[in-house]
Structures are given as structure tokens and as C-alpha cells.
Amino acid sequence: MESFEDYNIRTSPHPLLMARVMAVNPESGVVPVETTCAEDAGAAFVLESKGEWYHAGYHLTTAIVGPTVLALPFAFRGMGWILGFFSLFVMGAVTFYAYYLMSLVLDFCEKSGRRHIRFRELASDVLGSGWIFYFVVSIQTAINIAVSVGCILLAGSCLQIIYTLITPTGTMKLYQFIAIVTVVMMLLSQLPTFHSLRHINLGSLILCLGFSFLTTAACIYAGTSENAPPRDYSLAKSSSSKLFNAFTSISIIAAIFGNGILPEIQATLAPPATGKMVKGLVLCYLVIIVTFCSVSISGYLVFGNQSTPNILTSFLTIQGPELVPKWLVGLTVGLVLVQLFAITLVYSQVTYEIMEKKSADVKQGLFSKRNLIPRIILRSVYMILCGFFAAMLPFFADISAVVGAIGFIPLDFILPMLLYNMTFKPSRSSFVYRFNNIIMIVFTCVGLLGAFSSIRQLVLDAKTFKFLAD
């Protein structure tokens, strides 16, 4: 393997990086270990580096383990038990491996004197190509917006479920609940830094365990009740429908496991960050094993091919609220609703960092009038736009599938392996090199097929689209 010094010379995108003693170069995004972000407001404010490894674990868990887990029984519906479990295991193993490789690349660069704090600049630096910067920032932006839109939509649906339980004859529509959620998010979005979310994300971790256990309990209760729904695990009749449904389901699972902001999360760690991210990953995946398995097994076992994109609605649409106690559904939905606020905040951070890199003045205080007013305006406008699109596009599962295929698969299943091979240059005959290439090839094909099937399903559902539909 080449030395750190040779690696620096080969990959540095700007001559200023070689000095390693000047302030951060705002265009390169590479932070020398000895320096602070003296010129980059996005890095200095939004991505301040003060966290411990368990804080990274909280952030990772919030970014991955969210109410999208409630779509797992629906994903199994398109694949059946065997392929469903196989896909869940493979996606989990590959994403853990990919995130581990990316943490190694980030650690290597930090030891070389360059600490990357953004995914887009890490990829651009290691791969040595300017176009990759714009590719990654485009995909990241699409993911962040789609996740924010999806979370606001799902939060609005949760409010609607609670409202229906309390007032069955109520007349409020989904878009009205989305508007309420949007206003709350406008207020929460003013939390200035990623690190300031650490306590919220600890609460988010507890909430995801809570609603997963409650969902499992509700499924068990429903499955053993007198009104238990009939169990049918049959797949679509035609071969083409089976194929499209399977790839759509795979895309949903990819979106559920997706992250896409691991470098930004690692950037919140107090330097040196070496080794800390792996501990955070282990914490996150322990939670993943518990929550994903419990919800997918219990939900699909009870509802089979009647599973809905949000398994909680299955308690209401098949036999009515009496299938499980109203208080149990309401409590579960309430926990989901609160956690959705945390997820939206996490995925908005990259967008805020991009905005404040240009709009904020690092020489002024974080809460100075010069920085506070633009922050309030820009973040509020961003949330209003996300809320507007959430009201327009009430297709949560379809959005998740498209985001998984087009966004998360390239960033989480392909780029980490490529970055590792380019950084450490394992022998072409080595197992690691070949294994990484196999993963990249397989998931490139899966991503293309998943994108086609997901967009196809979105188009089919869009035929029933109504503006501000309920």
C-alpha cells in the first residue's frame, strides 16, 4: 500500500490541502485535522464536531430505524417468506459492511491529515473526478428531500389515524394534518446544529424500540383474536407481476436500510474520530435486528398478502379499530409520530449545511442577527415546500421504493465499495477486491431493475391521483 504522503499528493484536489496548516478550503470540503472550519459556515455551524461514539449511534439509528420499518410486512407481501427473509438479511449484511468500509476510508483520510466531513467531497477526493461531486450532491439532495416529504406525509397520516380513533365521523382531511405537521417542523428545524439533536435522537432510539414492540404486540393480539384476518401468503398470479413486485419490495427494503449521510454523521464526532464510528454502527445494528425482525415477522404472519404499506392501517382497514384496542393503536401511532419529527430533522441537516455554507457568515455568531434571520427564513421555506409536496403526493410506499432504487442503492451499496478499493487498492486477485466488485455489479443491476419497477408502480398509482387527496 502506498504511503500516506504519496496518497496525499495523488488525491489532493487543491494545492492548499498540502499545507495542512491553513484554514479549511470552502470549496474542497477537506478539513485538515489540525485546523478548524474557519471559513466554512456550513461545517462550523451545522456539522460542529463535538460528539462521542454513542451520539453517532443515536444519529445512525434515527437515520435508519424509523417508521419505514412498518412497511416491511408490505415488502414481504411482494416476495413471500423465503425471498423476504433472504433480502432482509442480505441488505442488512451488505449495508453494515458498506458503512464499515466507509468508516475505514474516512479514518484513513483523517490519519493522512485530511478529515472529510461531507459525502460529496469524500467521493470527489478519493475518486479524483469532478463529476462525482455533483452526482453525490444531487443524489443526497434528492434523498433528503424525499425522506423529508415522506416523513411529513407519514406524520400527517399518523395524526389522521389518531383523529379517526377519537372522532370517527370527523371531516378533517389528510392535507390539513400535513399542514399541522409542517408548522411543527418549521419550529423544530430552527435547532441550529446536528450535534444539538443528540438528545432528541436518543429519544428517537427509545421511541423506535417502543413502537416496534407495540406493533408486534398489536399484531399478536390481532392474530389471536376472534376477528383475526384470514391468512393468505400467496403472491401475484402473473409472472411479470411477481417480478415487478419483488423488485419494488427490494427497493423498499433498500430504502429502509439506507442512510446516505454517514460522513456527515461521522463529522459530528470530536476528533480524532478513528474507530468511534464502528462502535456507533454496532449500537445501531443491534437496534435494527430487534426492530426489523419483530415487525416484519409479526406483521406478515398475521396479515399476509393483505399487509398495507403502513402496517398500522391494517388494524383499521380490515376489521375496523376493534381488531385491536384503540388505545394500543393510538399509543403506537403517537410514538411513531414523535419519532418522525426526529428523522425529518436528521435528514434535513445536509440541506441546511448546503444552504448555510453560502448564506451564513462564519465570522458572526451562530445566533447573531446576521445568521439567525436567514436561517429562520431558509429553513422555514424548505419545510413549507416539503409539506406542500407531501400533500400533493400521498404515495408513501411508492416514494420509498423510488428513493431506495435511485438514491440509497448507489450511495450505500455501490460507492462505499468503490471508495474502499480506490483508497486501499487491494490486489485484484484478493477476495476483498472481488467481493466488493461483485456487490457493486449485483446492486447496480438491482438498482436499475428496482428503479424501473418502482417508477412503474408510482405511475400506476398516480392514475388515481387527486390534488390534496385524503
Is 382 part of any domain? Answer: yes
* Number of domains making up the chain: 1
Is residue 22 included in any domain, yes or no? no
Q: Does a structural domain hold residue 23?
A: no
Strand 30-31 and strand 115-116: the pairing is antiparallel
Residue 178: which of 413, 396, 409 has the closest Cα? 396
Question: How confident is the model over 178-236, as pLDDT tens digits?
Answer: 999 999 999 988 887 777 788 888 999 999 999 999 999 999 998 888 888 888 898 88
Which range of residues forms the domain containing residue 415?
47-462
Cell numbers 484513513 correspond to what residue? Answer: 108
pLDDT tens digit sequence for 10-27: 433 333 233 222 333 434
With H, G, I as helix, E, B as strand and everything else as coil, classify residue 25: coil
Does residue 345 register a pLDDT over 50? yes
- What mean pLDDT comes out for the span 319-331? 77
Q: How many CB atoms lie within 10 A of CB 286?
A: 12
Bridge partners (DSSP) of residue 116 are 30
In this prediction, residue 48 has a pLDDT band, given cuts at 50, 70 and 90, of: low
Does some domain include residue 219? Answer: yes
Return the CATH number at 75: 1.20.1740.10
Residue 397 lies in a domain: yes
Give the pLDDT confidence of 362-416 residue by residue, as tens digits: 777 777 888 888 888 999 999 999 998 888 766 655 666 677 667 778 888 889 9
Residue 451 lies in a domain: yes
pLDDT tens digit sequence for 249-304: 887 888 788 888 888 888 888 877 778 889 999 999 999 999 999 999 999 999 99
Q: Could you tell me which residue, 114 or 159, shows the higher pLDDT?
A: 159
Q: Which residue has the cell 446576521?
A: 370
**What gap in Å lies between CA 281 and CA 59, rounded to an integer?**
10
- The DSSP result for 237-265, as a single string, is SSHHHHHHHHHHHHHHHHHHH--S-HHHH
- Whether 103 maps to a domain, the answer reads yes
Judged against a pLDDT cut of 90, whether residue 177 lies above it is answered with: yes
Question: 226 versus 177: which is more confidently predicted?
Answer: 177
Residue 216 within a domain: yes
Sign of the dihedral defined by the CA atoms of residues 394, 397, 398, 404, in that order: positive
pLDDT of residue 320: 52
Of 186, 200, 199, nearest in space to 352 by CA: 186
| CA 113/CA 31 separation, integer angstroms | 8
Q: pLDDT class for 42, splitting at 50, 70, 90?
A: low
Confidence of residue 424 (pLDDT cuts 50, 70, 90): very high
